[in-house]
Structure 1
Amino acid sequence: MKKCLIILWVALSLCYPMNANAGQGPSASRGRDYYEERGEILWEVPTHSKVIALTFDDGPDEQSTMKILDLLKQHEAKATFFVVGSRVEQHPDIVSRELQEGHEIGNHSYTHPPFHNISGNKLLSELNQTQEAILDATGVKSVLFRPPGGSYNESIVRTSKDFGMLTVLWSWHQDTLDWRKPGVNRIVKKVLDNARNGDIVLMHDFVPNSTQTVEALAIILPELQKRGFEFITISELMSYQENTNKFMEVNH
Structure 2
Amino acid sequence: MVLYLAKRTIKAIIISILVLGLVAIATSYTTTTVAKRAPVEDWLRNGQVVKQVSTAKKLVALTFDDGPSNLFTPQVLNILAQHQIKATFFVVGKRAENFPELIKQISKEGHEIGNHTYTHPLSPVKAATLAKELDKTDEIIFKIVNKHTQYFRPPGGKCTRSTIEPALDKGYKVILWTTLEDPRDWSDPGVDKIVSQVVDNVRNGSIIILRDCGGNRAQTIEALPQIIEGLKKKGYRFVTIHELLKDSTTVPAIEEFRMENWVE
Corresponding residue SS for 1:45: strand
Question: Is residue 29–residue 152 contact of structure 1 (8 Å, CA) maintained in 2?
Answer: no
Identity %: 41
Structure 2 partner of 1:248: none
Partner of 1:42: 50
Q: Which residue of 2 aligns with 1:190?
A: 197
Distance 2:185 2:40 in 1: 24
Aligned match of 2:177: 170
Q: Structure 2 CA distance, aligned partners of 1:231 and 1:195?
A: 12
Deviations 1:26-52 (A, max 9, x none): xx8558543211221011221110100
Q: Which is helix-richer, 1 or 2?
A: 2
**Contact in 1 for aligned 2:131/2:166 (Cα 8 Å):** yes
Structure 1: 5+ residue stretches without partners:
1-27, 244-252
Secondary structure, counterpart of 1:174 in structure 2: coil
Aligned with residue 66 of structure 2, among 38, 58, 69: 58
> For the residues of structure 2 that align with 1:78 and 1:156, how far apart are their CA atoms?
28
Matching of residues 3-42 of structure 1 within 5 Å: 33-42=41-50
How many residues matched?
216
Write out per-residue CA displacement over residues 79-107 of structure 1, whole angstroms, 9 at most, x where no aligned residue. 10000000000111111111111110000
Matches within 5 A, 1:1-252: 33-115=41-123, 117-242=124-249
Where has structure 1 moved over 3 Å in runs of 4 or more?
A: 28-34
Letter in 2 for 1:174: E
Over aligned residue pairs, what C-alpha RMSD do you find? Answer: 1.8
8 Å contact 1:40–1:157 — kept in the other structure?
A: no
Query: Which one-letter code corresponds to 2:70 in the other structure?
Result: E
Q: Distance in 2 between matches of 1:32 and 1:199?
A: 20
Equivalent-residue separation in structure 2 for 1:220 and 1:105 (angstroms): 21
Kindly name which structure, 1 or 2, has the bigger radius of gyration based on alpha carbons: 2
Query: Alpha carbons of 1:50 and 1:134: their partners in 2 closer, same or farther (altered >3 Å)?
Result: same
Q: 2 CA distance for matches of 1:207 and 1:236?
A: 27
The answer to whether the 8 A contact 2:178-2:206 is kept is yes
Using the alignment, how far apart are the partners of 1:96 and 1:163 within structure 2? 24
TM-score (norm 2): 0.77
Deviation track 1:162-216 (CA, whole Å, cap 9, x = no partner) reads: 2221110000112221111111111001101101100000110114233011100
Letter in 2 for 1:144: Y
Gaps in structure 2 of 5+ consecutive residues: 1-35, 251-264
Structure 2 residue matching 1:172: 3-state secondary structure? coil
CA 1:210 to 1:155, structure 2 compared with 1: closer, same or farther past 3 Å?
closer
